[in-house]
Structure 1
């Protein structure tokens, strides 16, 4: 995803992988929204499941929940 720091994408991917018990590197960002204040909301695809991940630019995952 262009415009999203690598650390943020990596952190959300790792958290989604753990949440779904998938191999490392399985979850990918398929959507993003910049929230300002160096925060992003990423839509993560973990197999058929989608998650919403809010994360800081430095890679601190604030929360991860199933997408609605």
Structure 2
């Protein structure tokens, strides 16, 4: 009887331990994804600015003609 209670206690303990480990891993993964996303966002913003500048230059060229 006592062994069964200890066995059940160990199972419950490891279930909670695995949940905590999974939550920590998911948080770390989200932090890395946010870092990657921000750098990608900066890259898209830079490309957007370059394309806007290119369109402005093209429109100036067409107005000069």
Q: TM-score range by the shorter chain?
A: under 0.3
Q: Which has the higher helix share?
A: 2
Q: Which structure would you say has the larger Rg? A: 2
Q: Which has the higher strand share?
A: 1
Normalising by structure 1, report the TM-score. Answer: 0.25
> Which structure would you say has the larger RCO, counting Cα contacts within 8 Å and 6 or more residues apart?
1
